[in-house]
Amino acid sequence: MQLRSKDLLGIKELSAEEINLILDTAETMKHVLSASSKKTAHLQGKSVVTLFYENSTRTRLSFEMASKFMGASSANISSSGSSINKGESLIDTVRTIDVMATDILIMRHSQSGAPHMIAPLIKASVVNAGDGMNEHPTQALLDLFTMRQHKGSLQGLEVAIVGDLLHSRVARSNLWALEKMGAKVRMAAPSTMLPKDLDKTPALVCPTVQDAVRGADVVMGLRVQLERQQKALYPSIREYARFFAIDDKTLQLAKPDAILMHPGPCNHGVEMPTSVYDGSQSVINEQVTNGVAVRMAILYLLSARRNG
Amino acid sequence: MKIKLSGGRVVDPVGLKELEQDILIEDGVIVEVLSGDPDQVIDATGLAVLPGLVDPHTHLRDPGFEYREDIVSGTRAAVRGGITAVAAMPNTKPVVDNPAIVRFIIDKAKREGACKVLPVGAVSKNQDGKELAEIGLMAEAGIVAISDDGKPVLTADLMKKAIQYAAQFNLTVISHCEEPSLAEGGHMNEGLVSLELGLRGIPTIAEEIMVARDILVAEYVGLPVHLAHLSTAGSIELVRQAKARGVKVTCETCPHYFTLTEEACRDFNTSAKMNPPLRTQKDVDAIIAGLKDGTIDMIGTDHAPHHADEKQIEFGLANNGIIGFESSFALGYTYLVLPGHLTLPELVAKMSTRPAELLHQKMGRLEPGYPADITLVELHKPFMFDKNASASKARNTPYHGWMLRGQVKMTLCDGKVVFPW
């Protein structure tokens, strides 16, 4: 089996079988990561470019590490220091990258749908590393991978996702992914951060954070995206923390063996106190490691598809 | 020049009937009898004969944005769509807020245009929403209405003054209803599709709050107001209630609000991006009901040409709007007349007679004394709408490849054949 599309644009575009294929492949990649020699030849001779229009630590570095571990030639561009600052359009920028024999283009962009727009216009495979408020598919895949490692199966899993649901592409990608894999999603947020018609999706919208967390197998906090706040959606940080944080008491409402997740970067004391972030149930650092394995799997599978 | 147009089925949007009869034209005007033998006979056998369509809402982009459209290309696209007069919105560069620009548009249209151009003046200087523009001087120069279209008239106070002052010059305010604090930053209708695409939404109440405000202002001063491009079920209901209690409110919708829903935005399709945004099926149904029961007086295209690179970009950065001249009649015929929502004369009234009344123009009727602005349409053969055949400079339309009926075969403006060329 291989991926159906040349690109990885979003979870919405993937089937459950494709998600399983990526997660299974990532198991192998995780073994590579824990070996003393991390070099493989999966991407030998391939060229991988990351194009980031937004800041990133984890996503960008893990893609870069993933391509280097597998022997690809990799290069990076970001908006500062490139012709993007001279006003070059996205289309011209990616076509320029494409004609330099690029095999895989990894892009993060502040506009929803930016990777979908460029993918049909270029030969390279496009991997969406986050587009606006739409999707962050590789984050959802590494989240699923982490859940699967801890819980065995995703089927029937109760997952609570808490925080800024309005702006979160991580929440959206996780919702679509968990739905496809048979897990159940509960969501809670300040009511000003609930997208309209969320109740028409498979998500169960809960009135309080506590309602969402109660009895959950997985508790996921979302970052309060200060850079995406156009309007004041809550009165103050301390009020947010008082009513919407995942604190120790709230986490105790989840199943005793529940895991705590966060896509990072975390605003300590806002989404959760440091005691929870660093607590025994936290798998936040594992998520980061798994991110490298999952991205290795994605790059490998896209490259294998290109080889035919 | 004496012309006899014979063999066609003449659509009368006033008497709301259709009959086989000849139309006689002398010196550009429809007459009862010709003073002699016709110089030209136009055979309209098998075609419907309509008064030339009058479009109350268009953007010709001239002056200032000629790379998108100009008076020549815009009016050629109009006559190709059977439109013989277009009300041109003032959001040009510079804005139409003084008599000199009004005269420029009228003169250029007379010299180079394929049909009549009716300039709409700005409500406020530079459309800034602060001080009234020189409405009287612009009226003298030839504007047919005032509007800050593209932007809402921000304050109720300015709207009240504009309605009152314009009425003194026999002009109606055309209001673009949008509450900016709710609409700002939005790119499509707020709902399940915007959630699924991760695009910021524009709620229906952004339009409806302004509809309600403008109705109340018009009611308070007892003067008319015209509400442009209505898109939501709630707006239609507000207008229906206002009309029932005698408010002098008229309104228009556009073909895209009865033929498309927000679903068209999927795959980040920027040719479905417009303002107000495409809504839901419930809204489409309410628009059709409003057209049927007369709540919606007329149909305008909101013809909004954009350059390719203003549309072939990220959805959130793409400009709003679509071109509409060449598809509007066929969309109206295919989606309103064929399913039985409107009769053909009712559709023609909404696309010709009623807009002419709003703009105080002697147009929109095939009666002696009226200008010979006439459109001949083939109603039976389906045709494929091809954006690449457009006479517009722009190609931003969601209707490319649609099978439609109601293709315009010939257009006369003041008795002169302006299409086909």
**Strand (E) or helix (H) holding B355:** helix B354-358
Give per-residue pLDDT as tens, B152-190: 999 999 999 999 999 999 999 999 999 999 999 999 999
- State the average pLDDT over residues A8-20: 98
| Contacting residues for A14 by C-beta, under 8 A, at least 6 apart | A8, A22, A137, A177, A180
Give how far B194 is from chain A: nearest CA, Å: 9
Is the CB of A269 inside 8 Å of chain B's CB atoms?
A: no
**Distances in Å between the alpha carbon of B12 and those of A210, B49, B52?**
67, 9, 12
Predicted confidence band at A156 (pLDDT cuts at 50, 70, 90)? very high
**Mutation site for B-interface testing, chosen from A79, A111, A185 by largest number of B Cβ within 10 Å:** A111
How many alpha carbons fall within 13 Å on the CB side of residue B415? 21
Q: How many helices (H) and strands (E) in chain B?
A: 14, 22
**Strand (E) or helix (H) holding B12:** strand B9-12
**Strand (E) or helix (H) holding B25:** strand B23-26
Q: What is the pLDDT of residue A227?
A: 64
Is the CB of B200 inside 8 Å of chain A's CB atoms?
A: yes
Identify whether the C-beta of residue B372 lies closer than 8 Å to the C-beta of residue B51: no
Identify whether the C-beta of residue B336 lies closer than 8 Å to the C-beta of residue B296: no
Is the CB of A131 inside 8 Å of chain B's CB atoms?
A: yes
d(CA A26, CA A292): 9
A82 pLDDT above the threshold of 80? no
d(CA A179, CA B415): 64
d(CA A54, CA A17): 31
Give per-residue pLDDT as tens, A86-125: 788 999 999 999 999 999 999 999 999 999 999 999 999 9
Neighbours of B394 (CB within 10 A): 25
- CB–CB contact A196 B312 (8 Å): no
B403 pLDDT above the threshold of 80? yes
Give per-residue pLDDT as tens, B17-62: 999 999 999 999 999 999 999 999 999 999 999 999 999 999 999 9
Per-domain residue ranges for chain B?
52-366
- CB–CB contact B203 A196 (8 Å): yes
Q: What is the pLDDT of residue B138?
A: 98
Using a CB-CB cut-off of 8 Å, the residues of chain B touching A114 are 314
Taking alpha carbons only, the member of A97, A100, A76, A101 closest to residue A88 is: A97
Q: What's the longest Cα–Cα distance across chain A? A: 55
| Contacting residues for A216 by C-beta, under 8 A, at least 6 apart | A158, A159, A160, A186, A254, A255, A258
Portion 89-118 of A in contact with B at CB < 8 A:
89-91, 109, 111-114, 116-117
**Nearest-by-CA chain B residue for A93:** B313
d(CA A163, CA B255): 40
Taking alpha carbons only, the member of B231, B237, B293, B297 closest to residue B258 is: B231
Give the pairing of strands B48-51 and B374-378: antiparallel
> Would you call B42 helix, strand, or coil by DSSP?
strand
Is the CB of B197 inside 8 Å of chain A's CB atoms?
A: yes
Task: Quote the tokens at residue B266.
Answer: 């999927």
Domain B52-366 -> CATH class? alpha beta
d(CA B234, CA B205): 8
Give per-residue pLDDT as tens, B259-273: 999 999 999 999 999
Using a CB-CB cut-off of 8 Å, the residues of chain A touching B198 are 112-113, 131-135, 169, 172
Say whether the peptide bond before residue A190 is cis (omega within 30 degrees of 0). no
Question: At residue B71, what is the residue type?
Answer: I
Using a CB-CB cut-off of 8 Å, the residues of chain B touching A113 are 197-199, 268, 314-316
Output the DSSP codes for B243-268. Answer: HHTT--EEEEE-HHHHH--GGGGGGG
Q: What is the pLDDT of residue A228?
A: 60
Is the CB of B332 inside 8 Å of chain A's CB atoms?
A: no
Predicted confidence band at A79 (pLDDT cuts at 50, 70, 90)? confident
Predicted confidence band at A200 (pLDDT cuts at 50, 70, 90)? very high
Q: What is the pLDDT of residue A139?
A: 98
Using a CB-CB cut-off of 8 Å, the residues of chain A touching B265 are none
Q: What is the pLDDT of residue A264?
A: 92
Taking alpha carbons only, the member of A165, A234, A224 closest to residue A194 is: A165
Per-residue HEC secondary structure of chain A comes to CCCCCCCECCHHHCCHHHHHHHHHHHHHHHHHHHCCCCCCCCCCCCEEEEEECCCCCHHHHHHHHHHHHCCCEEEEEECCCCHHHHCCCHHHHHHHHHCCCCCEEEEEECCCCHHHHHHHHCCCEEEEEEECCCECHHHHHHHHHHHHHHHCCCCCCEEEEECCCCCCHHHHHHHHHHHHCCCEEEEECCHHHCCCCHHHCCCEECCCHHHHHCCCCEEEECCCCHHHCCCCCCCCHHHHHHHHCCCHHHHCCCCCCCEEECCCCCCECCCECHHHHCCCCECHHHHHHHHHHHHHHHHHHHHHHHHC
Q: What are chain A's domains?
A: 11-135+288-307 (3.40.50.1370), 137-284 (3.40.50.1370)
Distance in Å from the first CA to the final CA of chain A: 12
- State the average pLDDT over residues B123-129: 97
Q: What is the pLDDT of residue A230?
A: 57
- Which residues of B are known catalytic residues? 302
**Nearest-by-CA chain A residue for B204:** A196
Is the CB of A225 inside 8 Å of chain B's CB atoms?
A: no
Give per-residue pLDDT as tens, B193-216: 999 999 999 999 999 999 999 999
Radius of gyration of chain A (CA): 19
Using a CB-CB cut-off of 8 Å, the residues of chain A touching B201 are 195-196
What residues form DSSP beta bridges with A126?
A105
Give per-residue pLDDT as tens, B300-348: 999 999 999 999 999 999 999 999 999 999 999 999 999 999 999 999 9
- State the average pLDDT over residues B113-117: 98
Distance in Å from the first CA to the final CA of chain B: 19
Q: What is the pLDDT of residue B354?
A: 98
Per-residue HEC secondary structure of B95-106 comes to CCCCHHHHHHHH
The pTM for the full model equals 0.95
What mean pLDDT value characterizes chain B? 97
Taking alpha carbons only, the member of B55, B48, B13, B5 closest to residue B30 is: B5
Is the CB of B192 inside 8 Å of chain A's CB atoms?
A: yes
A229 pLDDT above the threshold of 70? no
